[in-house]
Chains A and B, each alone.
Chain A
Amino acid sequence: MNFKFADIGEGIHEGVILEWKYKVGDTIEEGETLVIVETDKVNAEIPSPVTGDIKTLGPDAGEEIHVGETLAIIDDGEGDDEDEAATVKDSDQKDDTSNDESSSESAEEEKGAGVVGSIEVSNDVIASSTEGEEEDEEIVNKRVLATPVARKLAKDLGVDIKTIKGSGKNGRVMKDDIYQAAEKNGPQSDKETSSKGSKRIQVDASLPNFDENRTRREKISKLRQTIADNMTTSKTVIPHTTVMDEVIVEALVQFREENKSLAKERDVHMTYMPFIIKALTKTLEEYPRFNSSFDYDKSEIIYKNYMNIGVAVDTPDGLIVPNIKDADKRGVFGLAKELSTLKEKANNKKIQLEDLRDGTISITNYGVFDSTFGAPVIKYPEVAILGIGRISEKPVAVDGEVVIKHVLPLSLSIDHRVIDGGDAGRFLRTFKSYLKNPMLLLLS
């Protein structure tokens, strides 16, 4: 590069070379002092603007150098600058201030070294200003209102915050909204709109004044609050009805007993639940409406081409419903293993949001508490839930005789908006046929 002595400040015209710090042929690093120049204001150490080999140097020490003259030509690998070193206008000439500096005028693009530094000079013409031409942009805030804490929560829970209708001031998305959306695995309903499918009916549920001396208040956990919200939504939105029945499961009990050792060999804990899940998936193939959701606003049923069977787990903190993904694609052993994994995760508080999302139908087993029948609450937005009671030996009539058999009580709750009692009855009949004859699970 052609490195010139420029007046870029202090208003000087010339200086005297006091000392060259390098000689021709030397390699100089960018920023190293090349020369000391004495001016009427200051003795200035002038650094090299580039790294390269010094090809020529300006006047000898003791001689004058004028503004615009070449201090040095340095080969910095950017091309040969010798030719342009011959004639250099000084910056006074170059700085056209007669109000008509034209872009066609040739100007050097260079770095000039003055006693106070070097300024870039260029002929680049930038785009003309658009001052005054801007159209007033209509301010459309498409963004969701939420605190950074809430945004982080949504991110952590894998919820798209943009899909959540905020319940706070001006539609601000609150943390509770996000928890609910995460639990429901989808956009939260606007409880205050007239949406027929999700309108929360406003009732006066205010409490009487309890005597503080005879009562105790306890703050509930976040999970408890979520359960409360979800149950309220389910029971408010879904018109439930429950169909109950019993099925003799003698063959199933025997089948399980016979295959216990086989399961043990494979390190599988074999309960009745894997068989029940398998039977449920087989039944759903015939009755896909039980594996759907209902879009009331659009008057459409959303059929799901996958079966993620939720299993209610009673943990010390409360009820959660993780689901087995693609249960229809698993065998009985596979379902048993997955069930064990989910229960272990639930009890160790290691359930991930992924485990709770995308359920399509649920099973709740209150048989473990020795209960028989129930009226299970559907997990919104699912449309059915199957309740399983305790298998017990009971006297039953078979071919005109009273005999003792293993009996499994069933309670099927349905969303009566899309499923009728007849559908539920037929569904249960098919389901029972699989449990009566477990070999069908393998053969069909």
Chain B
Amino acid sequence: MAVQTVLSAINQTLFEQMKKDDSVVVFGEDVGFEGGVFRATKGLQQEFGKDRSFDSPLAESAIIGSAIGMAVNGLKPVVEIQFSGFMFPGYNQIVAHAARYRNRTRGLYNVPMVIRMPYGGGIRALEHHSESLETLFAHIPGLKVVIPSTPYDAKGLLTSAIQDPDPVIFMEPKRIYRAFKQELPDKEFKVPIGKAKTLKKGEDITVVAWGALVRETEKAIKGLEDEGIDVELIDLRTIQPYDKEAIANSVKKTGRLLVVHEAVKSFGPGAEIISMINEKAFLYLEAPPTRLTGPDITVPLPKGEHHFIISPERIRAKIKEVMAF
């Protein structure tokens, strides 16, 4: 057992999978020599050489496009987009090719690749560095989208993503890269894609969160039981295909739902989850399924970012609001 941060768990997983499978290659901007902007790929080039871990040009379309070619031809590329806000030049490659290749070739070819990207706010970053764009991927058939909230899930989900036969978008909440540590098993393990995790059982209200907001929600619900509110907390972990049964079964038990996400409100993941609950658990509802989200604005620059960020206090207040309905 070793203690890891989210970041070091990702680095360790890349080491393990590259060692285990020669077809795994890792590249992106500053990924090889520097070991990535956050050092997630640190040491890989030294260990596996420049053919398997290398710097790419500053060109997301080229990074993803070339990775698709590699994947179709037998490699397993794990590419890094420096920040999720910079993925748009490569978005066409993701949507038009990576997501469709299996369908286009009627199953003859698949695209086993992973696109890693740090995402999310709360670090007083520059423009284009703080967005939460999971919906843009989750809305595209053919893509899997995962977001870990702990070192354990980072390792388990990345292992599953690398071994998955289809393209997986692996979004890393950078705010918690080094915010805490966790003991992980030494041997390889996987967290299944598509399976949520109930972090706390409860009877009164189901709260669904993912990424950095899982920790904020855990802070928010501390002490709520003393006030007579027993929260069931679900870490979604996979945004698409997401675990509908876990949420629906929980809401059938609690009768209330709050979805917490940093992505902006309109057409966000919360809208999808709430619609699903209306389809599957409408007759069990004690209160309107509710979402607490980022507002429909560009993430502000550092001075105003706190207006955008979802704090434990806001989560707590929203839980009480739903309970009081």
Contact = CB atoms under 8 A, between A and B. Distances in A.
Interface string A372-383: 000000000000
Contacts of A151: 285-286
A95 B2 contact: no
Contact of A172 (B11, B123, B153, B283): B283
A117 B125 contact: yes
B39 A122 contact: no
Given A97-B12, A121-B179, A141-B284, A47 B302 contact: yes
Contact of A8 (B123, B286, B303): B123
Contacts, number: 151
B34 A122 contact: no
B8 A96 contact: yes
Given A91-B39, A116-B129, A129 B150 contact: yes
B178 A122 contact: yes
A67 to B, nearest CB: 11
Interface string B12-50: 100100000000000000100010111100110000000
Contacts of B198: 134
Contacts of A7: 37
B175 A124 contact: no
Interface stretch (B103-111, B139-147, B163-171, B248-256): B248-256
B3 interface: yes
A7 B37 CA distance: 8
Contact of B182 (A126, A143, A145): A126
Interface string A287-303: 00000000000000000
A150 to B, nearest CB: 9
Give the bracket for the number of chain B residues in contact with chain A: 35 or more
B303 A32 contact: yes
Nearest to A134: B198
A126 B150 contact: yes
Given A9-B129, A131-B197, A126 B181 contact: yes
A208 interface: no
Given A9-B38, A49-B124, A125 B303 contact: no
B125 A116 contact: yes
Interface in A383-408: none
A143 B204 CA distance: 11
Interface string A126-157: 11110100100101111101111001000000
A370 interface: no
6 contacts: A11-B34, A47-B303, A117-B302, A124-B181, A129-B152, A131-B197
Given A119-B178, A124-B180, 7 more contacts: A11-B36, A96-B8, A97-B42, A117-B126, A119-B123, A128-B182, A148-B288
